[in-house]
Amino acid sequence: MRAAAQSEIMPRFAAREAASPSQPVGVERTVKGDGSVVTAADHAMQERLRTELARRWPQYALLGEEMSGQAHASLMPSAHEGLWCLDPLDGTTNYAAGVPFFGVSLALLKADGPVLGLIYDPLRDECFSAVRGQGAWRNGVPLRATVTAPDELRRCLAVVDFKRLPRPLAAALGSAPPYGSQRNFGACSLEWCWLAAGRFHLYMHGGQKLWDYAAGSLIAAEAGIPAATLDGEPIFSFGLDSRSVVAAVDAASFERWTAWTASIAQR
């Protein structure tokens, strides 16, 4: 994954950064039917990894974000025997705009959820990984959520994606946030990893696709991060529907965060 990202993603990003506004280079982008951006780097990375994974593990099919919806649906039954789930470039909008926050996410799914997760940040050369039941790592070093959040939500740093949240919840967060400060980085997979690394305290997202959370949620879980959907369900669902996320860096913060969220839902 590292070699593929450094040869397929980074040269195009470097070309984009070196281009003049009147002559943009290396940002061949289009808008998909759902309004999201896709670039040549997404397609190149997906094809590169599809070829390499098929050569080394031919028994597993690949479900990539940039495949058609019909292809996604046809591949889901394969997960019972094992299925790769790939986001070849998570944070494409950042990438196309020159914002230095994007990565590659790959998970191996079985019928009961992800068993292997790999997320690579090519700008920082950070590789986050996890094996179910065996732990999580950052560049080979064991990763545990050792950061304890402040004992009050109002002193916490939160990462929140507002645009996908239910309107009453988004309005409450906007008008009277319970935390001290808020960010949104624009690449779900890396947000999971940064939470697992203790780089912020609270996390909320209104809707992630399977390739957004498959690897990241496993890495976070293996690092000891408590997480659930806004409805209190487990994050992983064997399907293509979007899943919401509420998570925190420690159990006490998670309890306070979910209690506040529930209080808004009851209004």
Per-residue pLDDT of the chain (267 residues), as tens digits, is: 899 999 999 998 887 665 545 444 445 657 665 657 788 899 999 999 999 999 999 999 999 998 888 888 888 887 778 999 999 999 999 999 899 999 999 999 998 899 999 999 999 999 999 999 999 999 999 998 677 788 999 999 999 999 899 999 999 999 999 999 999 999 999 999 999 999 999 999 999 999 999 999 999 999 999 999 999 999 998 888 999 999 999 999 999 999 999 999 776
Q: Which residues contact 167 (CB under 8 A, 6 or more apart)?
A: none
Contact 258, 246 (CB under 8 A): yes
pTM: 0.92
Q: Which residues contact 230 (CB under 8 A, 6 or more apart)?
A: 166, 169, 206, 244, 245, 246, 261, 265
CA atoms 179, 185, 186, 189: torsion sign: negative
Distance, in Å, from the CA atom of 172 to the CA atom of 264, rounded to the nearest integer, reads 7
Quick one: three-class SS letters along 117-152? EEEEECCCCEEEEEECCCEEEECCEECCCCCCCCCC
Distance, in Å, from the CA atom of 111 to the CA atom of 82, rounded to the nearest integer, reads 8
Distance, in Å, from the CA atom of 215 to the CA atom of 213, rounded to the nearest integer, reads 6
Give the pair of three-digit tokens for residue 152: 């009050």
What letters, b where the CB count within 10 A reaches 16 and e where it falls short, cover 84-96?
bbbbbbbbbebbb
pLDDT value at residue 26: 46
